[in-house]
Structure 1
Amino acid sequence: MARIKVHELRDKSKIDLQNQLQELKAELALLRVAKVTGGAPNKLSKIKVVRKSIAQVLTVTSQKQKSALREAYKNKKFIPLDLRPKKTRAIRRRLTKHQLSLETEREKKKEMYFPIRKYAIKV
């Protein structure tokens, strides 16, 4: 089997991808048997290509699954941890913009009664 192009895999449905994965795994099993029995060198070099193809199919499958989940949770209040943006721990614990802008009553009164003085320089 020739190398698989990933852009072709992205167009396939989930069932087609599963079928292709089964075919590739079966082919890999045959190639491994040929390796043990002392098969032709071209079959031995084909193992790497088939393994890479299996990895590509699995990657496309997981990417499709994740994008479907992202779409499902798009406007929900709570999102699973693995779908949230990956940030540093400190950034995740930071206050939100709304929380930062909140002021206590005392702060509001202090600001109102003692505003910052504005000076104008006479030229």
Structure 2
Amino acid sequence: MAPTNAAALRKLTKKDLLTQLKDLKKELLTLRISKVASSSPQNLSKIRVVKKSIARILTVMNQKQKASLVKFWKDKKLIPYDLRPKKTRAIRRQLTAKQLTKRTRRQQNKLVIKAKFAVRAK
């Protein structure tokens, strides 16, 4: 059996992951058949390990796919919702930095410093 920890799986190519997934699914099938035929405790415990290995491979494949999509959409103007940062609802609805610094005409006029003239006494 090939590596089952996620760090080792991330180093593999997609083709390798697919072949490993196929092998694990075949193994799971044979274990399930042997479970029905003769239930030995060793096979029953191995089913759980194989199922977890399959889940681990699928998780790594999905993570790789999402990472490539994030890389593709990085410099685009609009990004799909599922690729945007989650954060919290309140933070997502906050005003942007540009919106916070914007002023109305009235606020701008108040900020204008009126020139002061000093009269020189002779």
Confirm or deny that 1:45 pairs with 2:42.
no
Q: Cα RMSD over matched residues?
A: 1.7
For residues 61 and 97 of structure 2, the distance between their equivalents in structure 1, rounded to whole angstroms, comes to 37
Deviation at 1:67, TM superposition (A): 0.6
Per-residue Cα deviation, 1:32-75 (whole angstroms, up to 9, x for no partner): 11111124321111101101100110011001001111111111
Whether contact under 8 Å (2:2, 2:20) holds in the other structure is no
- Residue 108 of structure 1 is matched in structure 2 by 108
Q: Aligned-pair distance for 1:100?
A: 0.9
Partner of 1:70: 70
Conserved? CA contact 2:3–2:9, under 8 Å: no
| Residue in 2 that maps onto 1:8 | 8
TM-aligned CA distance change 1:75 to 1:2, over 3 Å: closer
After TM superposition, give the deviation of residue 113 of structure 1 in Å: 4.8
Shift of 1:90: 2.0
TM-score, with length taken from structure 1: 0.84
Which residue does 2:94 correspond to in 1?
94
Could you tell me how far 1:5 is from its partner in structure 2?
2.2
Moved over 4 A (4+): none
Instruction: Give TM-score, length-normalised by structure 2.
Output: 0.85
Q: Secondary structure at the match of 1:15?
A: helix
* Conserved 8 A contact 1:28-1:50: yes
Partners in 1 of 2:99 and 2:2 — Cα distance? 57
**Mind listing any 5+ residue stretches in structure 2 that lack a counterpart?**
115-122
Report deviation, 1:3: 6.7
Percent same amino acid at aligned positions?
53
For these two proteins, the number of residue pairs brought into alignment is 114
Contact 1:28 1:51 (8 Å CA) reproduced: yes
Which piece of structure 1 moves more, 90-99 or 45-54? 90-99
